[in-house]
Amino acid sequence: MSYLIIDGVSKSFGTFQALNEVSLNVARGQIHAILGENGAGKTTLMNILYGLYRPDKGQIFLDGEHLFLDSPADAIKHGIGMIHQNFMLVNSLTVAENIILGLGQGLKRIDFAAQHERIQTMSSEFGLEVDPGAPVWTLPMGIRQRVEILKALYRNASVLILDEPTSVLAPGEIDAFLEGLKKLQNAGRTILFITHKLEEVMKVANRVTVMRQGCVSDELEANKTSPRELARKMVGREVAIRIHHRSREPGARRLQLQDLVVLNDRGIKAVDGLTLDVCAGEIHGICGVDGNGQRELGETVAGLRPLISGAISIDGMEVGNQSVKERQRLGLGFVPEDRQGTALVLDYSIATNMALRAFDRSPASRHGILNLGQIAQDALRLMQRYDVRARSPQQPVRFLSGGNQQKVVLAREIDARPNILIVMQACKGLDVGAIEFVQNTLVDLKMAGVAILYVSTELEHVLEVADRVSVLYRGRIAATLPIAQADNEHLSELMSGISTEVAA
């Protein structure tokens, strides 16, 4: 007997279909995992269940009752609680204050002693030990998460939705968290657990729904499946790969990364002992599920993020402590992942953005004086060459489409004549035509002898352009394969951390 039923739910945003006829059956008191890659629609589905979005089509039943959820308040009233990826806590308040916040005590005095006691009882009942009097900002992430869960339980949640709960946790905290989930289950709560990590599913889930591109690709019993099967269902059908395979004999080793260790913004190791190299005239593709250290890797090599330990060398020269500018001078180009926040100044014109990284050199300027005429002229030339569609070089890049913005970035980086180019998520958000253009441009560049590190979470794109493929998993290279030996299924297993093999 299903406790929670999601029946044929569809949702689109503009022309993008995020969910297509998704159905889900969850039995009472179970841990039900929802597995899928980024963009598979997991979070959209859960937001619908929590009343944040209204579905275009489909129904939701809880314990036989047909639910119409207009807001999170509705969802909470029906006993559905959600723990978001980014915690919704007031850092300056204590644990107890956060838990009772917004529960409408009117003007009555709050009896904090009684509340503390109640929270204490609850936390020991569910095995979620916290100090009710501690200010939230003093707590590590793992404990903050407990506070979030307690907040939902305090509101009598019988169904708990956890969105990528382990992504914010340090490795040591994850096991304790998974144990905690089992305790919650034993206490009769139903848990929906969104993740893209296979091993977590295998450890705690009773049932798994695998999603892919807005559809349910399968629903299975966790103890009757294998990580291998799950990985295959998650990545899906064999992709028809349009390989742009023009290759050439790779040249000298241009970029070498040795045992890199880098922290993310939260101070947790995001890159942890990574070693790889890129040769002239090759595209070294890095695939991996998002959040395995891609962003940190790119930023560190470009000089935007401090290197904790390890070595980065360009043509044999150690540059780990060099400035962005110095690395640029040595021929390093960088197309960042964050196009609008890092690569471009949105309110500036196309021309200015094209000059963003070379403004202090000839021909953009001489002796500190900008040559605005030259900058506009160069911009026009690059716009034609890279097919940037805009009315004039003076148009702010804010008004360009994603594809045209990316072309501006690529044009600028390529025009600087790099020896080494690092390209992050080059095709994110682009249409088919723009993807084709970007990929062809990169392959041309490779044929001209540039060493390219191509980092993407989209496996298909990596396979389309790369000569060698490395799998990034938990901040290190799980395996490196020549493109001829790289098959989709094997790579997707490696990306999910099932098997680790050392470079071929």
CB atoms within 10 A of CB 417: 11
- Per CB under 8 A, does 93 bind other proteins? no
Q: Which lies closer to other proteins via its Cβ, residue 220 or residue 356?
A: 356
Of positions 156, 246, 359, 385, contacts other proteins by CB under 8 A: 359
Rounded to whole angstroms, the Cα distance separating 494 from 492 reads 5
By residue count, the chain amounts to 504
Of positions 59, 365, 377, 488, contacts other proteins by CB under 8 A: 365
Rounded to whole angstroms, the Cα distance separating 409 from 400 reads 12
- Per CB under 8 A, does 344 bind other proteins? yes
- Per CB under 8 A, does 306 bind other proteins? no
For residue 33, give the 3-state DSSP assignment.
strand
The residue whose two tokens read 């129904």 is 59
Q: How far is the CB of 410 from other proteins (least distance, A)?
A: 14
Of positions 208, 390, 424, 495, contacts other proteins by CB under 8 A: 390
The backbone torsions φ and ψ at residue 409, rounded to the nearest 5 degrees and listed phi first, read -65, -45
The backbone torsions φ and ψ at residue 188, rounded to the nearest 5 degrees and listed phi first, read 90, 10
Name which of 308, 331, 337 is nearest 321 in CA terms: 308
Number of residues in contact with other proteins, rule: CB under 8 A? 33
- Judged by CB under 8 A, which stretch of 32-40, 246-254, 269-277, 369-377 contacts other proteins? 369-377
Own/partner contacts of 357-362, CB < 8 Å, gap of 24 or more, are 357/328, 357/412, 357/413, 357/416, 358/412, 358/416
Rounded to whole angstroms, the Cα distance separating 41 from 19 reads 6
Q: Which lies closer to other proteins via its Cβ, residue 157 or residue 438?
A: 438
Q: What is each CA distance from 129 to 144, 169, 325, in whole angstroms? A: 11, 16, 49
Q: How far is the CB of 432 from other proteins (least distance, A)?
A: 11
Q: How far is the CB of 399 from other proteins (least distance, A)?
A: 6
- Per CB under 8 A, does 248 bind other proteins? no
Q: Which lies closer to other proteins via its Cβ, residue 277 or residue 338?
A: 338
Q: Counting Cβ atoms within 10 Å, is residue 466 exposed (0-12), middle (13-18) or buried (19+)? A: buried
The 8-class DSSP code of residue 167 comes to G
Of positions 113, 369, 484, 502, contacts other proteins by CB under 8 A: 369
Rounded to whole angstroms, the Cα distance separating 318 from 303 reads 12
- Per CB under 8 A, does 137 bind other proteins? no
Rounded to 5°, the CA angle 444-447-450 comes to 95
- Judged by CB under 8 A, which stretch of 32-40, 41-49, 97-105, 355-363 contacts other proteins? 355-363
Q: Which lies closer to other proteins via its Cβ, residue 274 or residue 343?
A: 343
Rounded to whole angstroms, the Cα distance separating 392 from 382 reads 12
Asked if residue 271 lies in contact with residue 261, where contact means CB atoms within 8 angstroms, the answer is yes
Q: Which lies closer to other proteins via its Cβ, residue 73 or residue 324?
A: 324
Q: Which lies closer to other proteins via its Cβ, residue 149 or residue 344?
A: 344
- Per CB under 8 A, does 304 bind other proteins? yes
Of positions 341, 363, 429, 482, contacts other proteins by CB under 8 A: 341
Residues 481-500 that bind other proteins (CB under 8 A): none
Q: Which lies closer to other proteins via its Cβ, residue 264 or residue 365?
A: 365
Q: Which lies closer to other proteins via its Cβ, residue 150 or residue 376?
A: 376
Q: What is each CA distance from 352 to 324, 407, 408, 411, in whole angstroms? A: 19, 14, 10, 13
Of positions 56, 338, 436, 460, contacts other proteins by CB under 8 A: 338
- Per CB under 8 A, does 324 bind other proteins? yes
Provide the mask over 40-79, with x wherever binding to other proteins is found by CB under 8 A and - wherever it is not: ----------------------------------------
Rounded to 5°, the CA angle 306-309-313 comes to 80
Instruction: Provide CB contacts within 8 A for 108, sequence distance 6+.
Output: none
Q: Which lies closer to other proteins via its Cβ, residue 185 or residue 322?
A: 322
Of positions 360, 444, 487, 501, contacts other proteins by CB under 8 A: 360
- Judged by CB under 8 A, which stretch of 6-14, 90-98, 359-367, 378-386 contacts other proteins? 359-367
Of positions 125, 221, 347, 444, contacts other proteins by CB under 8 A: 347
The backbone torsions φ and ψ at residue 16, rounded to the nearest 5 degrees and listed phi first, read -90, 120
Specify which residues 477 forms β-bridges with. Answer: 472
Of positions 92, 179, 242, 399, contacts other proteins by CB under 8 A: 399
- Judged by CB under 8 A, which stretch of 35-43, 64-72, 150-158, 360-368 contacts other proteins? 360-368
| Interface residues toward other proteins, by CB under 8 A | 302, 304, 323-325, 328, 334, 336, 338, 341-348, 356-357, 359-360, 365, 368-370, 372, 389-391, 399-401, 433
